[in-house]
Amino acid sequence: MKKLLVANRGEIARRIFRSASARDIATVAVYSEADAGAAHVADADEAIAIGPSPARESYLDTAKVLKAAQDCGADAIHSGYGFLSENAEFAEAVMAAGLTWIGPAPDTLRSMGDKARARALANEAGVPIVPGSVRAGPEDEVDFLAEANRVGFPLLVKASAGGGGIGMRRVDSVEKLLRTIEDTQSMAGKAFGDATVFLERLVPKARHVEIQVFGFGNGAAVHLFERDCSLQRRYQKVIEESPAPGLTSDLRARMAVAAVALCCQVNYAGAGTVEFILDTQTQEFFFLEMNTRIQVEHPVSEMVTGLDIVGMQIDFARGTLGALDQSEILSSGHAIECRLYAENPAKMFMPSPGTLEKFSLPPETAGLRVDAGYRESDVVTPYYDPMLAKIITHGPDRASAAQRAVQALNTLQVSGIATNRDFLIACLQSDAFLTGDIHTGFIDANRKSLVAA
């Protein structure tokens, strides 16, 4: 592997460049018109324009990305997260073009990207799954009323091809069920090209706990421990941490064993994340989904294990990853990641595009890492996810990691646009967070007081 093209933008592109450069691999950025002056373009050894600002005409255009790779002589492609990262057809096209695809096999992407299929595979591997229904599109004859009564209320209507909170709607009673199903099917057909949906029981007070895994494609896999990602708005994560607070050693071990079992079941190859929901009342955990890519929150796992997960992806793809035994992977201390967004928490987290007139990030130290996608004077456009940077802290325990995060956020200076900086500080300093009383409804339940703080 001599030259790596990253089919992405922002902080994840810059992150991948670092691991590639450390291995003396030349890096190539692709960019849309809106990103011509972006930080990731400046970081790469080479940069290629691939089209207009809308993602579908640039970052999501397989033909343009492949042409860029071929024009510059790249021999490998890493797609980060989002965009084409879990697109099986893109992975197949990369491989058909004779390039190295840094990611799981296309068949794995296809199987785990289909939520119903993923649930079936998890069930076969002995992984607990949330009670759910069959999947169906508008043309299928399914008695959803009977299915709903079997699953139980409250429930979620979920698009089979959805993800990241998109294509997921809560229903509390039978009166709104059929209309919600119709609306979700219509939206899913337009957004994903797949109108099938299914019902899944909603755990009223749940935590979102996920296991970082790495598979070797031969029925063997290891885990890099767990992350708690319960603090979310609009089903998207805001603060993540490792280890997950308050778990017994037995529960922690059972979740890890289940995640590895699923990887072994599907001969998983590369980095991935098995996500679970944890019932805070019963301490039961259930398979939610598997993300077949690097996660936004992977740095917290890197901070507690000392491993370079992106580097592992690259080394595995080029055949240079050495043997890795579970006993060699240790977790030390506690890490917390805060996602700094260009958004206004007081206005339901509405994105806040504009120019970063001031953007001064805290200097990195042994216990502080900053992964940023922007620099001072950069323009945050309305075209893409509004995440500006990730502030990742590490300490000997949870309290010290949280304190370092607050200090780092207080040091950070930003003006010209609205951000969630003060909201993050309020979350980290809240009594509920500090005592570990966290769940996926935490922000919705406390939004007014957090915004006021």
Could you list the active site residues? 293
Distance CA 357, CA 419 (A): 13
What is residue 12's three-state secondary structure?
Answer: helix
What is residue 409's three-state secondary structure?
Answer: helix
Distance CA 80, CA 322 (A): 22
Which residue pairs, CB below 8 angstroms and at least 24 apart, start in 170-176?
170/202, 174/145, 174/148, 174/149
387-399 burial by CB neighbour count: b if 16+ within 10 A, else e?
Answer: bbbbbbbbbeebe
What is residue 202's three-state secondary structure?
Answer: coil
CB neighbours of residue 154 within 10 Å:
13
Distance CA 233, CA 237 (A): 7
The amino acid sitting at 339 is R
The count of residues in the chain is 453
In the numeric block, the tokens 């009977």 are attached to 146
**Which secondary structure element, helix H or strand E, spans residue 287, and what is its range?**
strand 285-291
Contact 49, 76 (CB under 8 A): no
Distance CA 74, CA 373 (A): 23
